Amino acid sequence: MGGGARSASVVQQQQQNGNNVCGWIGIKVSPMTTPFAESLGMAEPYGAIFERPEPNSPAAAAHIEAGDVLTAINGSPLMRSSDFAGIISAIAPGTSVYLDTWRDRQAMQVTVILGSAPCRTSG
């Protein structure tokens, strides 16, 4: 998807402008595996598996559960779990983000209002 390079430049711009806060959802993701995708009835293994949300985080407020699968952010497919953090951090805090997810063999959309966290730089 190439979101990593784009999001890094957005984070750098935010820091240069003195705005050292980035979007934050309060959850980590794990890579999707073929066996897990098949167990969910997904045709292809893509996206990311949500881990347990942090208490009092935007993810917890949106009722995201450990084991839910993230397939798209704002309608754009998430092909690699490694792109998740960069995409979320590049979105301004307070923004509503639409997450397409799978739970119990059903597709659903979850709306999350991003919180804020200090921007992290790679390197």
For the chain, domain boundaries: 3-118
Number of neighbouring beta carbons within 10 Å of residue 49? 20
pLDDT in tens, the chain (123 residues): 334 444 444 444 444 444 689 999 999 999 999 998 888 888 888 999 999 999 999 999 999 999 999 999 999 999 999 999 999 999 999 999 999 999 988 889 999 999 999 987 654
One-letter amino acid of 15: Q
- Indicate the pTM of the whole model: 0.80
Distances (CA, A) of 9 to 17, 113, 117: 12, 22, 17
Number of neighbouring beta carbons within 10 Å of residue 30? 13
CATH architecture of 3-118: Roll (2.30)
For the chain, the distance separating the N- and C-terminal CA atoms, rounded to the nearest angstrom, is 21
